[in-house]
Chains A and B, each alone.
Chain A
Amino acid sequence: GAGVSQSPRYKVAKRGQDVALRCDPISGHVSLFWYQQALGQGPEFLTYFQNEAQLDKSGLPSDRFFAERPEGSVSTLKIQRTQQEDSAVYLCASSLEREAFFGQGTRLTVV
Chain B
Amino acid sequence: GQNIDQPTEMTATEGAIVQINCTYQTSGFNGLFWYQQHAGEAPTFLSYNVLDGLEEKGRFSSFLSRSKGYSYLLLKELQMKDSASYLCAVRGNTGFQKLVFGTGTRLLVSP
Residues on A close to B: CB < 8 A?
4, 31, 33, 35, 40-45, 48, 50, 55-56, 58, 91, 95, 98-105
Contacts and interface: CB of A to CB of B under 8 A. Distances in A.
A23 to B, nearest CB: 12
Interface residues on B, range: 20 to 34
Contact of B98 (A42, A48, A99): A48
Contacts of A101: 45
Given A98-B48, A101-B45, A104-B41, A44 B101 contact: yes
B104 A41 contact: yes
Contact of A43 (B41, B43, B48, B95): B43
Interface of B: 4, 31, 33, 35, 40-45, 48, 87, 89, 95-104, 106
A91 B43 contact: yes
B99 A33 contact: yes
